[in-house]
Structure 1
Amino acid sequence: MPARTPEWYVISLRPRGEHAPMRRAAARAGASVIALSPSKLVLRQDDATRAALREALSASRVIFTSPVAVRAARSLQPLRARRGQGWFAVGAGTAAALRRAGIADVQAPARMDSEGLLSLPGLHDVHDRSIGFVTAPGGRGMLVPELQSRGARVLRADVYERQPVPPSPQAVARMAALRQPAVLALSSGEALQQILATLPAPALAGLRRARVVAASERLATLARENGFSRVALARSARPADLIAAACE
């Protein structure tokens, strides 16, 4: 007996191999996922990265920008909070990953984006303070310049990277043939730009018919600037929040 076709689809631009949480959240809402990955994650394991991470984790304040950054850092060394340090996460998912790694006291903003992080009191008076910034190249472009403008000395550790990959032929074919309602779950501006530059015209037309659920106001604006007319805002980049906003 053939599988029943879902009534609607979620288009996920997460890196290759990182779609499982989105699939689970979509399945609970009766949707299926089209995994349109424009990149894959590669954890860095070289000596220079280890040294940069050690320095970043010695700072008076430490910021992690994603759960993957936590995973990559843990693969290089244990995470241990020092007396007097402040640990910060861009969102709830990253904060949860840090707590699982043994960091009990983590601050994360209610508004789960760069602007929300910068509004936290612990990151206001940072003149002459060192701030460890554990992340990947690209993305979160406003954080480091803003912290530096506040007088902080930023110690950056890029512990993983996103390597561009072409979306799978199967996903491209599904996008070109898509006729059911679809929602684009948007949590990365870089991923959106890559996929818009990569998709062939028939698949791109299918993508542009989708409604966008964006993880932040910045991403919502980016979607509109790139021609998406139906854009809604989610509470965060977590799959459950993106799907909840899609269902509304």
Structure 2
Amino acid sequence: MTTAMLESIPFLITRPAGKADNLLASLDSLGVGYLYQPLITTAQVSLKQQDQQQLQNAAAVIFVSVSAVNSLQNQYDGALLTAPLFAVGQTTALALHRWLGREVIVPEDQRSEGLLQLPQLHDVSGKQLVVVRGNAGRELIKQTLVTRGASVRYVQSYKRQPLPLDGALLCQQWQLAGIRCIVATSNEILQQLFNLVPSANQHWLQQCDWILVSPRMQESAIALGIATERITLADNANDSALLAAISQLQREYQ
């Protein structure tokens, strides 16, 4: 790869493997230069008998990610999932619809905050709700629904784990490539970048532009030393919103 080629790569995409394919294909079709480096991967977690009972008894089932859907689909009979279905984002909703062929309720504001504004999740007193997710993650959905009188249980269908990467080497490669903007779609990815890159090189991270997907992420980025003016907030974490934000910065870079 020549120096001229390296200088034409302004964007670093960090979405997990399996979640970036459509975005990368769109960037390729538009001729936008990027490097792709996932930082975390997912592994399926076997369902317990208790998990299966909770899914069958639930008054509603909420899915927080595509990985939650795919990992459950691999080990659970969808015919047993008869409760109303909710998804935090449109991509997750589409994955559910492909699997079950049923209506999925998804908020216009594709975040936990948007999900909790849905009228169907306000009158939940006395109901048993299930949230299908990975390890850890935000507690906002459960905490809010419990305050509304619901009983909320987690079903963990997968776990996220960091990839074993050489942060010093990667940072050097990113700088040589001329990366100007880093696209991160979760606080976990944002923090993992700063965990990977040695402290001596974190000033470079702070000087990059960033595309993030929520005000909460913006607050985390500012706490890590990234200036507000270097942050662009995409409307949400789906491919079309990320592509719009990348395209806008691409125009500014030309």
Go from structure 1 to structure 2 and tell me whether the alpha carbon gap of 1:32 and 1:41 turns closer, same or farther (over 3 Å shift): farther
Q: What runs of 5+ residues in structure 1 fail to find an aligned partner?
A: none
> Normalising by structure 1, what TM-score?
0.87
Determine if the alignment matches structure 1 residue 243 to structure 2 residue 238.
no
Deviation at 1:166, TM superposition (A): 3.0
Deviation at 1:216, TM superposition (A): 1.7
Q: Provide the aligned C-alpha RMSD in A.
A: 2.5
Deviation at 1:31, TM superposition (A): 2.5
> Greater CA deviation, 163-172 or 20-29?
163-172
Q: How does 1:42-191 map to 2 (within 5 A)?
A: 42-45=43-46, 47-48=47-48, 51-80=50-79, 85-167=83-165, 171-180=170-179, 182-191=180-189
Deviation at 1:95, TM superposition (A): 0.5
> Greater CA deviation, 51-60 or 155-164?
51-60
Instruction: State the partner residue of 1:218.
Output: 216
**Cα offsets for 1:111-150 (capped at 9, x unmatched):** 1111001101111111111111100012233111111111
**Cα offsets for 1:140-186 (capped at 9, x unmatched):** 33111111111111121010001122335663332242435x32222
Matched position secondary structure for 2:154 = strand
CA distance in 2, matches of 1:220, 1:18: 22
Higher share of residues assigned helix: 2
Matched position secondary structure for 1:31 = coil
Give 2:68's aligned amino acid: A
Deviation at 1:201, TM superposition (A): 4.1
> Greater CA deviation, 157-166 or 89-98?
157-166
Go from structure 1 to structure 2 and tell me whether the alpha carbon gap of 1:201 and 1:150 turns closer, same or farther (over 3 Å shift): same
**Cα offsets for 1:68-92 (capped at 9, x unmatched):** 1100000011324766x32100000
Instruction: State the partner residue of 2:28.
Output: 27
CA distance in 2, matches of 1:25, 1:195: 24
Q: Is the CA contact (8 Å cut-off) linking 2:61 and 2:130 kept in structure 1?
A: yes
Go from structure 1 to structure 2 and tell me whether the alpha carbon gap of 1:86 and 1:114 turns closer, same or farther (over 3 Å shift): same
Q: Is the CA contact (8 Å cut-off) linking 2:6 and 2:176 kept in structure 1?
A: no
Q: Is the CA contact (8 Å cut-off) linking 1:183 and 1:212 kept in structure 2?
A: yes
Give 1:74's aligned amino acid: Q
CA distance in 1, matches of 2:172, 2:21: 21
Aligned length: 244
CA distance in 2, matches of 1:147, 1:90: 14
Go from structure 1 to structure 2 and tell me whether the alpha carbon gap of 1:188 and 1:214 turns closer, same or farther (over 3 Å shift): same
Go from structure 1 to structure 2 and tell me whether the alpha carbon gap of 1:13 and 1:82 turns closer, same or farther (over 3 Å shift): closer
**Cα offsets for 1:40-74 (capped at 9, x unmatched):** 210113x52x5414413430111000011100000
Go from structure 1 to structure 2 and tell me whether the alpha carbon gap of 1:42 and 1:70 turns closer, same or farther (over 3 Å shift): same
Aligned-residue sequence identity (percent) comes to: 27
Matched position secondary structure for 2:165 = coil
Q: Is the CA contact (8 Å cut-off) linking 2:73 and 2:99 kept in structure 1?
A: yes
